[in-house]
């Protein structure tokens, strides 16, 4: 089946089998391997991407459902090659990761939060990432990173 969509600002057109999940499409057809597969049943959040402005599970969508959509993956976060988004920079600053496997999904969830709320409480942050499981960090440095990024964004704006 022919699908056309926008991924990280680029138009792409592909023939896909209807049963191909969006995450498999991104990874295997587009070589965007930053989006990870963790559980394939919608619990872990490693495959989080932004579809039409909202963070969603790319394992819980078939690529055909994304026909016509705008998709942003971890490769599309940031302000261009070689630059980091405020969140990416903050994740590095607080070492909000260890193995790095959940990290892209976690950053996507956080980008989605900060797009709607640039002054989140710790509870807001924890609720925004509750669907993204991290096995390494215990979340504390992740919460700190998101709060730091929010602060940096607010300061840069004012």
Taking the C-alpha atoms of residue 51 and residue 73, their distance in angstroms, rounded to an integer, is 9
Beta carbon nearer to other proteins, 128 or 158: 128
Residue 31 or 158: the one with the smaller Cβ distance to other proteins is: 31
Q: Which is nearer to other proteins, 12 or 29 (CB)?
A: 29
Q: State the nearest-atom distance from the C-beta of 11 to other proteins, in Å.
A: 19
CB of 6 to other proteins, least distance (A): 17
Does residue 5 contact residue 67 with C-beta atoms inside 8 Å?
Answer: yes
Rounded least distance, CB 96 to other proteins, Å:
8
Cβ atoms of 76 and 37 closer than 8 Å: no
Instruction: For strands 2-7 and 70-72, give the pairing.
Output: parallel
Tokens 């993204």 found at: 132
Closest distance between other proteins and the C-beta of residue 20, in Å?
Answer: 8
Write out the E strands in 101-150. Answer: none
Of 123 and 158, which CB lies nearer to other proteins in the complex structure?
123
| CA–CA separation, 121 and 124 (whole Å) | 5
């Amino acid at each position: 089946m022919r699908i056309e969509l926008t991924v990280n600002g680029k138009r792409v057109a592909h023939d896909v089998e209807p049963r191909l999940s969006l995450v498999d499409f991104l990874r295997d057809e587009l070589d965007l391997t930053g989006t990870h597969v963790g559980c394939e049943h919608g619990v872990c959040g490693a495959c989080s991407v932004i579809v039409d402005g909202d963070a969603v599970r790319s394992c819980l969508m078939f690529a055909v459902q994304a026909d016509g959509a705008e998709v942003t993956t971890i490769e599309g976060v940031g302000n261009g090659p070689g630059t980091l988004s405020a969140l990416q920079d903050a994740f590095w600053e607080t070492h909000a990761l260890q193995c790095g496997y959940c990290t892209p999904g976690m950053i996507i969830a956080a980008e989605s939060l900060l797009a709607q709320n640039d002054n989140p409480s710790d509870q807001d942050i924890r609720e925004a990432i509750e669907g993204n499981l991290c096995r390494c960090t215990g979340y504390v440095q992740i919460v700190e990173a998101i709060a730091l990024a929010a602060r940096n964004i607010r300061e840069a704006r004012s």
